[in-house]
Amino acid sequence: MNTQPPAGSLQANDPCWCGSGRKYKRCHRNTEGRVHPGEISPMRLVPDTIPRPSYADSGVVEHWDEPLVKSPEIIERMRHSGKVAAEVLRLAGEFLEPGKTTDEVDAYVHDLFIERGAYPSTLNYHGYPKSLCTSANEVICHGIPDSRVMLDGDIMNLDVTGFVGGVHGDTNATFCVGDVDEASRELIRITEECTWLGIEAVRPGRPVSDIGRAIEDHAKEHRYGVVKAFIGHGIGEQFHTDIQILHYYDSRSTLEMLPGMTFTIEPMITLGDWRHRMWDDGWTAVTADWQRTAQFEHTVLVTEDGVEVLTGGPGAVSAEAPWNR
């Protein structure tokens, strides 16, 4: 397989590294520094002893009308799945370093879930081939782990979800790989703040649009973009339920938050354009202007007087709001 050489190692009139036969200047020169797809290894196996969601073998996701307000029993199980996902995310972040491939990260996360008696929820969900999403630099979300080597200075979002006890726990965070520039570090910092401002806007009796307003206001204050195409979602016995959480304000988003509802808050914040492009794989979304983007995510529960973060707390990457630390 042809792989992109280090930036600057080819001259404009050299044959392109991709093997197209065209000159480098006419082919891939303008893509230097971007993330490129690598080789995807075969789907990893999960032992038969691990309980699995209905789509695990077929890849076909069948939706049913799951109650928006969860029972106390389901909530308790979701507390456990949330803790499992949070622990796996923290360990995966500690595993990152320049020179490793994202496929190595996938193998590590896969094994972490298996060790905890959990099924990695992304595996074969609508046919997705891996046990987490690895989204580097300009990749907004749903990057597929592959043979790409992580580089010093990358930023990397890891999105993990585990199915255990019959319910899903979903969380993600953006990490620095090696020595990262200050602009990227600031983007990550503000993105985490946006996530927690959205969480703090969760109140019973209020519309879910409060969440998007809080996130968008903070992002705009720092002149960042908010991705609109990908949103937070309800979660429980199904990976995705009917609740939709926009990360920008829309007055039509009027669903009332009720105690017992569970959903994710996962804003994607960009240095530049909030619009996206899709790779040919049908999964990977990148920023339209190729500038960097960051994301954090928590699964939350609406309580009688506010919110409980099911994937936060001790041991989580983003354990609590930055201003409470």
Note the pLDDT tens digit of each residue in 124-135. 999 999 999 999
In this prediction, residue 24 carries a pLDDT of 59
In this prediction, residue 12 carries a pLDDT of 67
Question: Cβ distance 21 to 33 under 8 Å?
Answer: no
Give the CA angle between residues 161, 166, 167 to the nearest 5°: 40
Classify strands 307-309 and 285-287 as parallel, antiparallel or unpaired.
unpaired
Round to whole Å and give the CA distance between 167 and 77. 7
Domain coordinates of the chain in residue numbers?
72-324
DSSP secondary structure letter of residue 33 = T
Note the pLDDT tens digit of each residue in 259-280. 999 999 999 999 999 999 999 9
Question: Cβ distance 311 to 87 under 8 Å?
Answer: no
Tens digits of pLDDT across the chain (325 residues): 344 555 556 676 778 766 667 765 555 555 668 999 999 999 999 999 999 999 999 999 999 999 999 999 999 999 999 999 999 999 999 999 999 999 999 999 999 999 999 999 999 999 999 999 999 999 999 999 999 999 999 999 999 999 999 999 999 999 999 999 999 999 999 999 999 999 999 999 999 999 999 999 999 999 999 999 999 999 999 999 999 999 999 999 999 999 999 999 999 999 999 999 999 999 999 999 999 999 999 999 999 999 999 999 999 999 999 999 9
| Residues present in the chain in total | 325
Structural element, H or E, at residue 122: none
CATH fold of the domain at 72-324: Creatine Amidinohydrolase (3.90.230)
Round to whole Å and give the CA distance between 155 and 174. 7
Q: CA neighbours within 13 Å on the CB side: how many for 153?
A: 7
Please give the C-alpha separations between residue 73 and each of 18, 70, 80, 146, 162, in angstroms, as whole numbers.
54, 8, 11, 38, 18
Residue-averaged pLDDT of the chain:
94
